[in-house]
């Protein structure tokens, strides 16, 4: 039986917040990343419906400064984390799991460090969250040809949207003109202003040293071909999170939920449905 995806607005901490909701069951909160055209429609799309059909109550907001949600006065990651907490409060989540994408994975871990309502974590590739490889020092400026460089240097356009998505996605079957157009539509003047605000603030502080404090069942879902965060860094992160598991998907880049839709949903729903010791 098909599940209807409702697309609504709510006012959360004073920001008009756009979100998708579908299904009934244990709550799954989806948090997207921070490419300038990122939004629920681009990064999650039909995963909302499909996870709802698997028995979950799915909530997927456009976080502040993205998609159709208002821009905040402060573009820091702390503002987005506080908004996500307030979003959970607004809907009265007593217990919920989080599926994070890119910076959404960072947000998920930061929230879980001190929110006992959070049950399981699904963590997609993140440039910032895992430890760096031994002997590697992050460059002060983004490397040419990378997603980070594109975020810093590109202006909104259909062609730049196409180029950016080709850096992110590694499965040709996942790439489409429809996705490019949706990304370009979301990369509008409002959201480019937010992008400039985030760039001006610099890179958020690393939190990988705090990951051993996590006690949540955690699934790391990585793309074997992600240039932004190589698999070896995911292995280092898995060692920091007790009891976590790591799945690495072929023909897959920074967005497993888009590059490998079917396999990602299968792995994630099985992980969420599995019984775990409290």
At residue 145, the pLDDT reads: 75
- For residues 56-76, average pLDDT: 98
Percent of the chain residues topping a pLDDT of 90: 90
Pick the CATH number of 6-273 from 3.40.50.300, 3.40.50.1820, 3.40.50.720, 3.40.50.2000: 3.40.50.1820
How confident is residue 137, by pLDDT bands cut at 50, 70 and 90? confident
Residue 96 scores a pLDDT above 80? yes
Under 8 Å between Cβ of 204 and 106: yes
- For residues 142-148, average pLDDT: 78
Residue 278 scores a pLDDT above 60? no
- For residues 73-101, average pLDDT: 98
At residue 1, the pLDDT reads: 65
Higher pLDDT, 144 or 259: 259
- For residues 222-240, average pLDDT: 95
At residue 149, the pLDDT reads: 86
Of residues 96, 23, 28, 15, the one with CA closest to residue 62: 15
Residues in the chain: 278
At residue 4, the pLDDT reads: 96
- For residues 97-111, average pLDDT: 98
- For residues 141-148, average pLDDT: 77
- Whole-structure pTM value: 0.96
At residue 56, the pLDDT reads: 97
How confident is residue 140, by pLDDT bands cut at 50, 70 and 90? low
Residue 276 scores a pLDDT above 60? no
- For residues 189-193, average pLDDT: 97
CB within 8 Å of 133: residues ≥ 6 apart: 230, 232, 233, 236
Under 8 Å between Cβ of 33 and 165: no
For residue 246, give Cα distances in angstroms to 32, 106, 260: 20, 16, 16
Percent of the chain residues topping a pLDDT of 70: 98
At residue 210, the pLDDT reads: 98
Kindly calculate the radius of gyration of the chain based on its CA atoms and give it in whole angstroms: 17
The strand order across the sheet containing 218-223 reads: 6-12, 15-22, 57-61, 27-31, 96-100, 118-123, 218-223, 245-249
Secondary structure of the chain as H, E, C letters: CCCCCEEEEEEECCEEEEEEEECCCCEEEEECCCCCCCCHHHHCCCHHHHHHHCCCEEEEECCCCCCCCCCCCCCCHHHHHHHHHHHHHHCCCCCEEEEECCHHHHHHHHHHCCCCCEEEEEECCCCCCCCCCCCCCCCCCCCCCCHHHHHHHCCCCHHHHHHHHHHHCCCHHHCCHHHHHHHHHHCCHHHHHHHHHHHHHCCCCCCHHHHHHCCCCEEEEEECCCCCCCHHHHHHHHHHCCCCEEEEECCCCCCHHHHCHHHHHHHHHHHHHCCCCC
Residue 138 scores a pLDDT above 80? no
CA 239 to chain CA centroid, Å, is 21
pLDDT digits (tens, 9 = 90+) for 262-275: 999 999 999 999 97
- For residues 143-169, average pLDDT: 90
In angstroms, the CA 174 to CA 152 distance is 25
pLDDT digits (tens, 9 = 90+) for 14-27: 999 999 999 999 99
CA quadruple 269, 270, 275, 276: dihedral sign: negative
């Amino acid at each position: 039986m098909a599940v209807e995806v409702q697309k609504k607005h709510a006012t959360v901490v004073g920001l008009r917040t756009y979100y998708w909701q579908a299904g009934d069951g244990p709550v799954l909160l989806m948090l997207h990343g921070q490419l300038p055209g990122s939004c629920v429609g681009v990064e999650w799309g039909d995963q909302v419906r499909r996870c709802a059909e698997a028995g979950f109550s799915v909530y997927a907001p456009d976080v502040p400064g993205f998609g159709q949600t208002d821009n905040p006065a402060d573009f820091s990651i702390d503002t987005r984390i506080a908004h996500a907490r307030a979003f959970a409060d607004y809907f009265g989540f007593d217990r919920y799991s989080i599926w994070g994408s890119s910076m959404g994975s960072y947000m998920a871990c930061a929230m879980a460090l001190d929110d006992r309502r959070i049950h399981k974590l699904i963590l997609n590739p993140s440039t910032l969250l895992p430890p760096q490889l031994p002997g590697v020092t992050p460059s002060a400026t983004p490397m040419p040809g990378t997603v980070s460089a594109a975020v810093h240097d590109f202006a909104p356009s259909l062609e730049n949207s196409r180029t950016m998505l080709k850096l992110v996605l590694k499965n040709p079957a996942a790439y489409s003109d429809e996705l490019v157009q949706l990304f370009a539509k979301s990369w509008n003047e409002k959201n480019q202003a937010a992008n400039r605000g985030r760039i001006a603030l610099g890179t958020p502080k690393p939190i990988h040293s705090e990951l051993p404090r996590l006690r949540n069942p955690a699934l790391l879902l990585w793309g074997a071909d992600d240039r932004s965060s190589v698999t070896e860094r995911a292995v280092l992160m898995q060692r920091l999170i007790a009891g976590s598991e790591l799945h690495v998907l072929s023909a897959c880049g920074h967005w497993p939920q888009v590059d490998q839709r079917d396999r990602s949903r299968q792995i994630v729903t099985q992980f969420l449905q599995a019984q775990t010791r409290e």
